[in-house]
Structure 1
């Protein structure tokens, strides 16, 4: 029997690639995002696009309710919806910061709350939370993004232990730089926020770094997600992308001061 997957953030990037890849491999997929018009190309793959705003309670409830009424269950939840907002902490308006946390953390958490009762009843479920290498390390000008991804790591660890007793697995995916709208607009967003402030020199250096990133195709991460949800005993975390493992290794072995120096050495 086909498993049903709900993939958020399916209008672009990792979310879209994951929705397509799962559909191509025998899953019945609902692709959800705010921009319904950006998901019409999913229909030929047998994917059902759904309008979803993860910051809106009624939208979240309606999405889950519709899927359960149509197919009876949500076996797999892939929380791929996310936002990157960049700039020095001093410069980022709190409204923008709250919006990022609302999307990256609270939207993920609320959707998990809504699917868990049915997963517990079925004694089966796979919850995939998209974190980032930025959930383990840090880079200047990304304070709110890193805060949200560090929070996803902690949330997922607690949740994994809580729901294991019900036959539900929680899997964290930690991609490195991945080709997406977030990468494309990251440098421009950074310069908008901090390009004309006392942090402008650092902002220019980091924007240059963004433009030279060796980002992987989203399908690389989609394959990682499929590997995780199909493993009999999935790992707590799956890592993918260019230079991610070396970066995580350096974070483990270096002191905070040494890691700071390593980061700053790249911002010239």
Structure 2
């Protein structure tokens, strides 16, 4: 039986690469995105317009897939972005929009797909978080909060749905070769108040992210392979990482928070001096 996967945020980056990979592996792929024209076009890929912050759009997305295929084997909650900015400056409406996209969109789609998966007694919800669900940096408070929320939500959900043959799994990418940092930093500068005292912080984080981006080895295609492994492993793990360094960063932040903070501040200041 040909399997069916629904992927949100399929118009760029990891979502785009995942749509192509699953299709090459013979899956029927339904990619959702606001910019539907940017979703890859290939055999087995169906592009649907989707805004995950709109309940009616989410409902139409899931109903269209089920009406055509009569099943959904995997939902990949990949849509998301980084709304960076100082906590003191960033408008709360922007913070709420961040949660609507990165967290509540995934929750809404999951509620819609779970009755289908329970009825077929199988399925996987793959939630694309970030190492930023555990590690953190200045300006990213609301982004990190959404990813931490997504992870704890996923873990609770996994216990609830496992008896029905359905699993909820988290993928935690680290830095990738994408426009993510540029977009996040753009938001950070837009969210600064006039004469903000946090301009120096934005400059420091900008230097760090740009330096990290040039050193990053993970491509969107690399992460798509992690998505596919999470979808197909016979005995799925609770967390999936691309690199050992990503796993180590998460371990350090969770197990040795004082050391993590000290190391991070040192690296941040060093990156700013090198700029």
| TM band (smaller chain) | over 0.9
Aligned residue for 1:266? 267
Aligned residue for 2:210? 211
Q: Secondary structure at the match of 1:243?
A: helix
Q: Could you tell me whether the CA contact under 8 Å between 1:20 and 1:45 is conserved in 2?
A: no
Q: Could you tell me whether the CA contact under 8 Å between 1:9 and 1:33 is conserved in 2?
A: yes
Deviates more, 1:89-98 or 1:184-193: 184-193
Q: Secondary structure at the match of 1:212?
A: helix
The answer to whether 1:63 aligns with 2:61 is yes
Q: Could you tell me whether the CA contact under 8 Å between 1:190 and 1:207 is conserved in 2?
A: no
Structure 1 portions without partners, runs of 5+: none
Distance 1:135 1:22 in 2: 26
Structure 2 portions without partners, runs of 5+: 270-275
**Runs (4+) of structure 1 moved beyond 6 Å?**
none
1:94-126, CA deviations, whole angstroms, 9 ceiling, x for partnerless residues? 111110100101000010000000100000001
1:121-180, CA deviations, whole angstroms, 9 ceiling, x for partnerless residues? 000001100010001111111000000000001000000000000001111000001122
Aligned residue for 1:170? 168
Aligned residue for 1:116? 114
Distance 1:134 1:69 in 2: 36
Aligned residue for 1:99? 97
Go from structure 1 to structure 2 and tell me whether the alpha carbon gap of 1:243 and 1:197 turns closer, same or farther (over 3 Å shift).
farther
The alpha carbon displacement at 1:37 in A equals 1.7
Which runs of structure 2 are paired with 1:112-191 in the superposition (5 Å)?
112-191=110-189
The alpha carbon displacement at 1:188 in A equals 2.5
The alpha carbon displacement at 1:78 in A equals 0.4
State the TM-score, normalized to the length of structure 1. 0.95
State the TM-score, normalized to the length of structure 2. 0.92
Structure 1 vs Structure 2 CA RMSD: 1.4
Aligned residue for 2:200? 201
The alpha carbon displacement at 1:249 in A equals 2.9
Distance 2:92 2:179 in 1: 23
Aligned residue for 2:20? 20
Aligned residues: 265
Residue 238 (structure 2) aligned to one of 236, 242, 247: 236
Deviates more, 1:245-254 or 1:215-224: 245-254
Q: Could you tell me whether the CA contact under 8 Å between 1:80 and 1:129 is conserved in 2?
A: yes
Distance 1:244 1:130 in 2: 14
Distance 2:146 2:114 in 1: 22
1:2-59, CA deviations, whole angstroms, 9 ceiling, x for partnerless residues? 10000000000111111111111111000100111212xx222431000011111111
The alpha carbon displacement at 1:265 in A equals 1.0
Q: Secondary structure at the match of 2:191?
A: helix
